[in-house]
Amino acid sequence: MGQLSNLVEVKEGVAPQSLNHFQRLRAVKITGTLAPGYSIDEALKAFDAAAKLTLGASAQTGLDGQSLEFRSSGSEIYLVFVLSLFFIYLVLSAQFESFTAPLVIMLSVPLSVTGALFALWLTGGTLNIYSQVGLITLVGLITKHGILIVEFANQLRAQGQDMLSAVVDASALRLRPILLTTGAMVLGALPLAYASGAGAEPRTQIGWVIVGGMSFGTLLTLFVVPVAYSLLARRAHIEAHGVEVNAPAVVEGPAR
């Protein structure tokens, strides 16, 4: 038998229960919440500036959780947005058998995006991952208005109407379906826009994008799409059907 003090020395102290590692390196995890009126992008920029001033040159920083998703998806969302526009253009080109009609239809996209960004600005929102998802959703919704006007105008031109009267009649006859579609989408998105409680931030961002984009985009689409159709559509053919409409005129007069 021997005394334990002959073998070990006992000292009391404080140590962490576990050692955190990030990317196989010893790490210290810093968590926090956003102050009112600030976005994730602003908080990450402030964190990077503070880390650059405080930490040494050998220290490394990394992101995890929602911050990592924001940084990784922030650059990818623009590529997804461009690809969605290109895909919709290809589908419309195949449907209308034309490269001009899809351009007329997709003129409503920048108009609706302007309305969505204006709604975000009025409500104090930011261009984050949730609002960007709402913008991609908005592209598919707003193009339906242009499809209604262009498709019906093509049908009227196939029946022999001239360009101007076909566009006017198509816009007048498709007005009610367009307004009903817009009303349904706006009323359906209002509960999202006015959501409250836990997890309400992503829902409000998507809701205001749809409400502002559909309202403002529809208002301008009713004026811009008919004008663009009358300027860009070819007068010699009905692009959707490939039917000649400019037949030689027949002049009636006394026989000679």
Domain ranges (residues) in the chain = 77-241
Phi, psi at 246, each rounded to 5°: -90, 75
Q: Rounded to an integer, what distance in angstroms lies between the CA atom of residue 231 and that of residue 229? A: 5
pLDDT of residue 245: 44
Phi, psi at 248, each rounded to 5°: -60, 140
For the chain, give the longest Cα–Cα distance.
Answer: 142
Q: Does domain 77-241 have CATH number 1.20.1640.10?
A: yes
| pLDDT tens digit sequence for 148-200 | 888 888 888 888 888 888 888 888 888 888 899 889 988 988 888 888 877 77
Q: Rounded to an integer, what distance in angstroms lies between the CA atom of residue 256 and that of residue 152? A: 43
Please, which pLDDT band fits residue 74 given cuts at 50, 70 and 90? low
Q: pLDDT at residue 252 above 60?
A: no
CA dihedral 203, 204, 208, 211 (to 10 degrees): 60
pLDDT of residue 11: 85
pLDDT of residue 73: 67
Q: pLDDT at residue 1 above 70?
A: yes
pLDDT of residue 75: 64
In this predicted structure, which of 60-74, 79-93, 104-118 has the lowest mean pLDDT?
A: 60-74
| pLDDT tens digit sequence for 41-52 | 778 888 888 888
Q: pLDDT at residue 254 above 80?
A: no
pLDDT of residue 251: 41
Q: pLDDT at residue 105 above 70?
A: yes
Q: What is the CA radius of gyration of the chain?
A: 30
Q: Residues of the chain with pLDDT > 90: what percent?
A: 0
| Mean pLDDT on 88-99 | 84
Q: pLDDT at residue 38 above 80?
A: no
Q: pLDDT at residue 240 above 50?
A: no
| Mean pLDDT on 72-94 | 80
pTM: 0.65
